[in-house]
Structure 1
Amino acid sequence: MRPRLLLLTPWFVPGVAGGGITVSVRRMVELLEADYDIGVLTRWHAATQAAVAPDRWMPFGKNSRAAWLSPAEVWRVPRWLAAFRPDIVHVHGLYDLHFNVLPLVRRAPSPVALRVLSPHGMLDPGALAVRPLKKRLFLFAFRQTGLWRGLRFHASHAQEAAHVRRHFPKGETGIAPQIPEQPPATWTPVAAPAACGRLRLLFLGSVHPKKNLLWLLRLLQHGSVPVHLTIAGPVSEGRYASRCRAAARALSPTVRVDWRGEVPHDAVPALLADHHLLALPTLGENFGHAIFEALAHGRPVLVSTATPWRDLCARQAGFDLPLDAPQQWLEALARLWALDASAWAHWQAGAHRLATEWYGRQRFAEAYRRLFEG
C-alpha cells in the first residue's frame, strides 16, 4: 500500500497566485503520485471559482485528489487532515493561518508518521527584511510555543537549510530541490536587441517589495539603452504598486513600460518569446521559478545575487549582480545591447543549456523519498 501524503498549501492551480509554490506543488503531484497516495488541500478563491467546486475531493492528476476549501471551510482544515488519515503531512508556506498554522496548532488525533514544513524561502534574509517586525514576532511565537517540535523542515538547497537552522537550530532539516517545469528541447529565438530597436526586458513576478520592481524602475532612469519593460504579475501591495507606477511615469521616453497584470502560467512561454531578457532584482529567492523558466526558454537573466543562480556570466546565461552596485547593472544592459546576432545567439543557447543541464542532474523522486522516509 502506498504511503498517504497530504499537501497543505494556500496556493494551487488553477490559480496563478503563489508563483513558484503553485508550480512546485503541482509538479510534486505529477512526479510522486506513482509512489504516494496524494491529497492536496488548498484555498478556493476567485481564480478557481469557474473551474472547481468547493469543499469536496476532486480527482487531480492521474491518481491523486484535491479539495479547494471555501472561506468558511478553511477553518476546518484540521478536520479534513484527520479524515484523510495521512502518513505524511507536507505544509507549504509559513505564515498562512489556515493552511500553515492551524494544522500545527490543532494537530489531528490520528497518528501522523511525519510532518514536513517547507518555508519556500520565507526565512531568507531578503524576505525577512520586508515587514521585519511582524515576521520576527511570528517566528518568536513559533519558537516559544514549540510548534516547530516534531517537524522536519524542507529546504531546497544548502543555503536555505542554513537559514532554517539560524532560526530553528534544534530543528531537523532535509534537503530536496524545488521541482520546476522540464525545459523544452527547443526554444523560440529572438533577434538581437539592437536589431529590434529596443532591449525588451521582462519583469515576471508579483508587484511586491521583495521582488524589488521599484529599484529596477529607478535604475532605468539612469540608463542610456533604449528599453521596453514589460511588467507581468499580480499586485500584492497596492501602495507599493502606486509608487512603482509613479516611478514609471517619471522615466524618459527612451524607456517604455507596459503593465500586463497577472499572466496565466501557460501564457508565460509566449511572453518570454517576445522578450530578450528577464530582469529580477529580487531581495531573495530560494529557487526562482521565473528565473528558471526564462533560462529554459533561451532567455538570459539579469538578477540580484540573492538567488541560487550564480556565475551566470561565465555560462553566457546572464548576470547575477549585487544590488549595491547599480552601475554594474547598467553596464550589463549596455553589454547585451551591443551584442551582434552571432554573439546574441550564443547567449540564448547558454541560457537554455544552463537550465537543461541543471534539470538533468536532479533526481527529484529520490530526493523526496529521502525527505519523507529518510
Structure 2
Amino acid sequence: MKILHVSPSFYPATFWGGPIFSTKAICDGIAAMPDFSLRVLTTDAAGLAVSDRVRRVPMGYPVHYAYRIAGHSVAPGVLWHLPAAVLWADVVHLTGTYSFATLPTLALARGLGRPVVWSPRGALQATQDWPDAPRKTAKRLFERAAQKLRPKGCVLHVTAAMEAAQSVARLPDIRTAVIPNCVSIPPLVGRIFRPGGALRLMYLGRLHPKKGIDQLIAAMDRLPDCVTLDIYGSGDAAYEATLRAAAAEYGTRIRFHGPVQNAAKTLAFARADLFVLPSHSENFGIVVAEALAHGLPVLTTTATPWRRLDLIGAGVCIDPLQDDLAGAIARLGAGDLAGMGAYGRDWMIRDFSPEVMVARFAALYRSLAADEPQMVQA
C-alpha cells in the first residue's frame, strides 16, 4: 500500500516541537512495515524566518523538501510535485490546517478519488478554544473552502476526544479517528527527587500566551525560596522578553535555557522534580507524555487531554481559571514524587508506545483504502 504524507514542515525542522516528532514517528513506523511504501512531500522550512532551512538527514524513505519562498509553508515546488504524488498514492495523509498546501491537497485527492487522513495538529481546536486566536475571519473562510473541497473519504485524525469535539465544531459532519501521539520510552535512570530539600520545577515547550507560563512565573511569588523553575523553549521574541522581564525579580530561581533536544532534553528531565504545563489550550501536549516517560510527575490543567493523571496517580490536573496554581505545586511537590513518576512511566509504556500508535495508523490506512472505515467515528 502506498502512503503519501503532505506536511508544511518535516524533521529535522524541530522548531515546531511535538508535531514534528510525532509525524516522523508515524512515517518511520509505516515505512518499516513490509506491505507499505511511503513518501513525504514537504518544505525546507526550519523556522519562522524564510532563511531558516533544514539540514537534511537520511530518512530511509523518500522525502522531498520543496524550497520555501515566503510565510510558514509557501513553496511552489509542493504544488509542482503534488499531482503526481497524489496520483501515486493509495491514501494521502495531510498534516497541517491553515497551510499553503492544504486546500490543493484536498482538492486533488477529491478529483483523483484518493482517501485522506487529515491531521490538523491542534490548529482547529486552538482556533475554536483560544479567544485570542489570530485571523479568525480568514480561518473561517479557509475552513468553508476545505469543507467544499475535501473528498468524501476524508477522516480527521485527532489525538484526544477533546480535540475531536472542538475540531468538529469548526468542520461539521467530518468523520474523526482518535489516535494519540506516541512517546519514545527512554532507558530508566536513577534520580534523586528533591535533593537537599529543593523542589525543581520544569516547563518545556513553545513560549506562547496560551501555555500559561506567565501564571507559572507569578506563582513563584507564593512558593518558598527552595522552589526553582527552569524554562526550556523559544517563541515570539517580544513575548519571550515579557516573560524574562517578569522573571527577573526572582534572580536565579527562574532560569531560561532556550530549546533543547536529544541528550540535552533528557538531561533537563533528569534535573527536574516536577513538570508543570499550566496551559489554557492543548490538543495533546506531547511534552506531558515525554515527562511521564522519563519518570517525572506532571501538573497540568483540565484544558489539556490529561485528566487521567489523577486516576493513574502520576500527577494532577487543575482548572486553569479557578484553581490555585501555587497551592497545587506545593501539595504535589510534598507528595511521593518517585511513586508518581513510576506510575506515569508504566502508563506510557502500556498505552503510548510508538508500536501502538503505528499499528493504529496502519489499520486506519487499510480501512480507508478498502472503503471500510471501521476505526472512524461519524
Taking structure 1 as the reference length, the TM-score comes to: 0.84
Contact 2:156 2:177 in 1 (8 A): yes
Q: CA deviation at 1:130?
A: 5.3
**C-alpha contact 1:12 1:18 (8 A) present in aligned 2:** no
Alignment of 1:11-50 (within 5 A): 11-33=9-31, 34=33, 35-45=35-45, 49=53
Structure 1 residue corresponding to 2:157, chosen from 150, 154, 158: 154
Q: What secondary structure is seen at the aligned counterpart in 2 of 1:217? A: helix
Cα deviation per residue 1:280-306 (whole Å; 9 max; x = unaligned)?
A: 111222221110010001000111111
Secondary structure of the residue that 2:156 maps to in structure 1? strand
Cα drift, residue 112 of structure 1: 4.6
SS of residue matched to 2:97: coil
Give 1:203 shift. 0.7
CA distance in 1, matches of 2:307, 2:181: 17
Amino acid of the structure 2 residue aligned with 1:287: F
User: C-alpha root-mean-square deviation of aligned residues, in Å?
Assistant: 2.7
Mark the runs of 5 or more structure 1 residues left unpaired by the alignment. 53-57
User: Which residue of the partner structure matches residue 55 of structure 1?
Assistant: none
Q: What's the counterpart of residue 268 of structure 2?
A: 271
**Offset, 1:127:** 6.6
1:307 maps to 304
Partner of 1:168: 171
Aligned residue in 2 for 1:243 = 242
**In 1, Cα distance between the equivalents of 2:248 and 2:298?**
25
Tell me the CA shift for residue 210 of structure 1.
2.2
- Deviating above 6 A after TM superposition, structure 1's stretches of 4 or more consecutive aligned residues are none
Greater mean alpha carbon deviation, residues 125-134 or residues 163-172: 125-134
Aligned match of 1:350: 343
- Residues 352, 196 of structure 1: alpha-carbon distance in 2 compared, 3 angstrom cutoff: farther
What are the Cα deviations for residues 43-99 of structure 1, in whole angstroms up to 9, with x where unaligned? 2145785732xxxxx8523xx2112222248113122122322222211111222x4
**2:294 equivalent in structure 1:** 297
More divergent stretch after superposition (12-21 vs 141-150): 141-150
Deviation at 1:30, TM superposition (A): 1.8
Tell me the SS of whatever aligns to 1:173: strand
Retained in 2: the 8 A contact 1:89–1:112? no
CA contact (8 A) 2:203 2:275 kept: yes
Secondary structure at the counterpart of residue 19 of structure 2: helix
Letter in structure 2 aligned against 1:305: T
CA separation in 2, counterparts of 1:155 and 1:302? Answer: 23
1:334, 1:265 → 2: CA distance?
30
2:63 and 2:104 map into 1 onto residues whose CA distance is: 19
Q: Secondary structure in 2 aligned to 1:201?
A: strand
* Match of residue 364 from structure 1: 357
Q: Determine if contact 1:88/1:112 at 8 Å carries over to the other structure.
A: no
What amino acid is the match of 2:249?
A: A
Aligned match for 1:334, one of 330, 333, 345: 330
Specify every segment of 5 or more residues in structure 2 that has no aligned partner in the other structure, as ranges. 374-378
Q: Equivalents in 1 of 2:228, 2:59: separation in Å?
A: 39
Change (3 A) 1:228 1:289: same
Q: Does 1:189 align with 2:190?
A: yes
1:290-349 deviation digits (Å, cap 9, x = unpaired): 10010001000111111221142343311111112342x22232224434xxx3322221
CA distance in 2, matches of 1:355, 1:12: 24
Report 1:74-85 matches (<5 A): 74-84=75-85, 85=88
The aligned counterpart of 1:87 is 90
Cα separation, 2, equivalents of 1:300 and 1:308: 16
From the superposition, tell whether residues 276 and 87 of structure 1 become closer, same or farther in structure 2 (CA, over 3 Å): same
Query: Kindly, what percent of the aligned residue pairs are identical?
Result: 28
Q: C-alpha offsets along residues 23-60 of structure 1, whole Å, 9 cap, x if unaligned? A: 111110122111321111222145785732xxxxx852
